[in-house]
Chain A
């Protein structure tokens, strides 16, 4: 159980730019255990999606992985060429995107698309693939009678279920779900997350869940990694990080999230002043220091690394 399916070490992704390079991901290391749901949380521009794209080998040029290693079990995958990677992408690692309409082909029935994916990755006959596709639809709660329906005939939540069925159809070991429920209503979001959780538990598949919503993290993940400006700010078991957050940014994120259970009209929400820095104007030292209420001289001068593999903040340097 504690074996890891994915290991990422010192990942650094850069985009060449007129005036040098923009560092989108900087020195990010983590691992995903088998059967685990790891959450990536942070605000726009923190590098959540970029990390996912790096793992699955889909960073848009001119960006590239400059440094670091990505291991899928005992195979190093960050240096594979396009051909070799197609054996992994969709087969061993698959992806669920935010907008189901962009991942489904509007001109083909969902059954067709499922069969195609299954036959692409698994050595099965047409009939066997169809049987599997039907079973897949049933698993995600879609009536197999709608096998020949087109994507536009489904609602947003149903489409996302189809996408999940597609992602699971080749029986992958790791699923990267990038904001899978952001476009959905809350009630549908709850169903889709529940479904994703259940199916992954049943198959002992691991999930990297990328979201900006601390609530979704709390309800879905086992461990969580908080990203800020391309670096890991904090990582740990979800329970621990949410109840005893250490990094001032994590604390701020949690405190500024309104709660349906607390507060009233007179409540002033906690606010983190300022905004995430742009990649071409990263502050020196700790990237969070201009917004941090605990910033000391050291934070301006020196960049903190992840201490005890938990939190990247000088506040905890002497503990």
Chain B
């Protein structure tokens, strides 16, 4: 089973490309202090808004800071937001989905109605409203993105639980006296992790996109901390003179999100080739 998975995964060129992008991003953000050519926060008033040159490969921003270095450090933000927000979404989504699917009846109806209600809110509205009430900080953003993104995972896990709970191995566990908690978390949940893994990979991509949009609007990661989104804000403010401030950070977001999406789809296709259209 496992070797089948890797065999199928490595035959899928797009999935491998996505995986390479993701691994490369990890490397860049881990090695940021060593590979960034300049200090990302070093202000140089004499060299404001310089176009790309051999000294500043991607130019400088409105305070004369090196854009490439800021983007390299900004990758850490994307990585952090992507993983923490998705982690929260999985935690909430998987627990609620497991409980709804396992217990059924009124527990299921209450949780699923709650999911329906949450889905009525445009998630960007909900995120903005909560950020307006709290302070815009990276932690608040991660938590809010996570807390507004768990509904899809709940539906997936619930569906898996409904079909898995009737299986023989669950009956067997019950017969030897395993409690509900043990059956849910030790016996059924591991079998439902495949679909969660796929949803999580795609969720990281979504969280990165949302963070960049929030930072772009000035309600996300606050300067001087560099994030791809807030570099783009400077790009918008200098739209008629500094195209490089707009082009490169967006390209970084595009490639990152594309990487996670391709990886996620690749994992799904490799886990179960029948799911492929």
Chain B binds chain A: no
Residues of chain A whose beta carbon lies under 8 Å from any beta carbon of chain B: none
Residues of chain B whose beta carbon lies under 8 Å from any beta carbon of chain A: none
